[in-house]
A and B are shown apart, each in its own frame.
Chain A
Amino acid sequence: MPKRRDIVAIILIVLPWTLLITVWHQSAITPLLSTRKDDRRDGRSNSQNAFALKDSCSLQNRDIVEVVRTEYVYSRPPPWSDVLPSIHVITPTYSRPVQKAELTRLANTLLHVPNLHWILVEDSQRTTTSVVRLLQETGLNYTHLNVETPRNYKVRGDTRDPRIPRGTIQRNLALRWLRETFSINSSQSGIVYFADDDNTYSLELFDEMRSTKKVSVWPVAFVGGLRYESPKVNKLGKVYGWKTVFDPRRPFAIDMAGFAVNLRLILSKPQAYFKLRGVKGGYQESSLLKELVTLSDLEPKAANCTKVGKQGTLHVLRPPESLEIFGCHDNLFLKSINCRLTANSLRFELI
């Protein structure tokens, strides 16, 4: 009799454990199963929605590959989406011979980016008609602002003097416009990016920056005398330093076009602007970013900052002699203009 009782006891002990183990086993497997099912579903729908791309290999025995696209939507710019966050691209610009060429080229790039809002800020007393016409012809969604840099801040002769911050007043005006136009309570999501008019941007860059929660960063090519500068990212995906040669001890050793900020962050910190006075060369970006975010909050993009998607290029007229001609012309122009300090620029001096 005790033997039977023992057996019953043993069974009653073992049964719950086996139940437990089987339930545990199942709960460990079912999440995996559900994700695999999702992938399969996604894969099928992707192939349905993908545009047809036919590869017609060479006609003769030559290794020339000709690719013909059978479907392409030529709607420029792309229709506005209700789901994608908008990207506000702030571009300061100033009048010089290559200005129209640069803006044309930049516009040709921006025409491919959905939900883009181009904020163009001219360094001039009033908006110039050629820029107005250019903006209207592109069909882009834009805002055209202008503010003139006061004479004592303007570049004198040497365009590469790093002590004079170029475009600062214009970028600050754009930030102010954003803060006046968008309220922090609105549900509109947006990303703010500072794009100079003489750089090259890949289209993947705009896709990467759309998921910015606070501030995202990526490598930039041909800046700081290197092939590329980039943030140093550790295995946990956090930024811990900067791979630059020019003063890597800056709080944010990054180029103006190497980061993007979430609009909500801009709106929530209304005192954050680029510093005008007392800014050492290369510290412009830090003057804004240190008021917005800390190093650990940065989000590295472009495959943990291993891919280069934006290059800085400068433009020179040919042949070299013509630079002098246009240089003198510009200086004459500056001297003859009565550079009055406007109310706007005074306000930015105080910031």
Chain B
Amino acid sequence: MATRMKLKLKTVFVLYFMVSLMGLIYALMQLGQRCDCTEHNMPKDRTISRLRGELHRFQEQLRKSEATKQPQKQPAKPTIFVITPTYARLVQKAELTRLSQTFLNVPQLHWIVVEDSPHKTPLVTDLLVKSGLTHTHLHMPTAKDRKLQEGDPSWLKPRGVEQRNEGLRWLREDRRAQPGGDNQQGVVYFADDDNTYSLQIFEEMRSTERVSVWPVGLVGGMKYERPVVEGGKVVRFHTGWRPSRPFPMDMAGFAVSLKLILANQEACFDGDAPMGFLESSLLQGLVTMDELEPKADNCSKVLVWHTRTEKPKMKREEALQAQGLGSDRAVEV
């Protein structure tokens, strides 16, 4: 009995030992396998290190170019202050995105966005922060009786007046606090969020002394509207609609120097002006026609277009919403 038990114990013991040994070997194999995994990640690591190397190179280049630019930096480029009124509608994010992508190409640009809203919306706030532009975010609601209602034609009431005036007010207050007083260099441009701007127009307007003007494409029912230039001076305006206005041009067709804005603290847009006289209501108090500076090759090139965006068709969306199956509201459009 004792020997049989001993034998049994021995076999059990041997079995156990073999199993443990096999387990150990398996664990060691596991360790070996991890080595293979790290080899598998090598191409990714290599890519990452190459990208880091490139980034480092570009930063070196930037530092070198900044260093060489330093001595030439004295005549700093005048900043362009772009005032954009905006309001909430379906295509707002698309328009502002596109606009920010254009502005991102322009150096020394300060974007002043004024929302037609009683408070700042997160959509615009996030967009501005993500864009990486130098910006100021303001808001100013339009009074209800001055607002366009659903179904009103777009020309019935003037749009963006309160917002542009708020932009001017902030600009004046902000610049008063800056050193240099009224001798500050800068240009003020009113850019609506649905127009198209080429990059050259910003370089053209940077040299504005008082008020500069240029042609605007696809506006007023014409291929373009523009000031007619003779002998380097604006003599009249080529426009299809009410050419008898003091300044028959579109909001996107002129820029005012910051000095002029600061020197005339009361100059702003008049919301009560008749249709089409909005631009004149501001410019009348600032400049006369022969003081206008023609840009864009004596007003012969179209560098800005008065495009408009069609309202997206939401028939199916409305039908779905009536059934309670509308698109997820949590997704920002």
Contacts and interface: CB of A to CB of B under 8 A. Distances in A.
Contacts of B177: 59
Q: How large is the interface on A (under 10, 10 to 19, 20 to 34, 35 or more residues)?
A: 35 or more
Contact of A111 (B17, B105, B135): B105
Given A16-B24, A83-B51, A202-B97, A98 B218 contact: yes
A66 B51 contact: no
B223 interface: yes
Interface stretch (A171-179, A291-299, A314-322, A334-342): A314-322
- The A contact surface, by secondary structure, is mixed
Nearest to B104: A112
A71 B13 contact: no
A149 B22 CA distance: 73
Interface residues of B, number: 79
B308 A307 contact: no
A83 B55 CA distance: 11
B90 interface: yes
B102 A314 contact: no
Interface string A77-116: 0010111000000000000011011101100110110000
B16 A308 contact: no
Contacts of A98: 218, 305, 307
A146 B16 CA distance: 79
A311 B333 contact: yes
A226 B320 contact: yes
Interface in B283-318: 302, 305-310, 312-317
Contact of B196 (A105, A307, A321, A322): A105
Contact of B306 (A73, A83, A105, A318): A318
Interface in A279-324: 306-308, 311-319, 321-322
A45 B312 contact: no
Interface stretch (B26-34, B183-191, B263-271): B26-34
A333 interface: no
Nearest to B133: A69
B54 interface: yes
Interface string B215-240: 00111011100000000000000000
Contacts of B93: 311
A315 B308 contact: yes
Interface stretch (A20-28, A251-259, A343-351): A20-28
A82 B154 CA distance: 50
Most A CB contacts (10 A, CB to CB) among B24, B56, B315, B333 go to: B333
B47 A83 contact: yes
Interface in B84-131: 90-91, 93-95, 97-98, 101-102, 104-105, 107, 128-129
Given A16-B21, A315-B308, A226 B133 contact: no
Nearest to B310: A314
A65 B124 CA distance: 13
Given A23-B27, A59-B177, A67-B134, A74 B107 contact: yes
Interface in A243-275: 245-246
B155 to A, nearest CB: 7
B20 interface: yes
Contacts of B91: 222, 311, 313
Contacts of B314: 225-227
A66 B178 CA distance: 14
A222 B93 CA distance: 12
Contacts of A318: 154, 218-219, 221, 306, 308
B101 A109 contact: yes
Contacts of A109: 98, 101-102
B133 to A, nearest CB: 7
A31 B34 contact: yes
Given A64-B137, A82-B54, A101-B307, A76 B105 contact: yes
Nearest to A84: B51
Given A101-B217, A112-B104, 19 more contacts: A31-B34, A49-B52, A81-B51, A82-B50, A108-B98, A108-B101, A108-B197, A108-B199, A112-B101, A137-B200, A226-B314, A227-B333, A245-B316, A308-B331, A312-B312, A313-B94, A315-B308, A317-B221, A318-B221
27 contacts: A17-B23, A20-B24, A30-B34, A59-B177, A64-B137, A64-B170, A66-B135, A67-B129, A74-B107, A83-B51, A100-B217, A100-B302, A100-B305, A108-B105, A108-B199, A137-B200, A200-B94, A222-B94, A225-B313, A225-B314, A227-B327, A228-B333, A245-B316, A314-B310, A316-B310, A318-B154, A318-B218
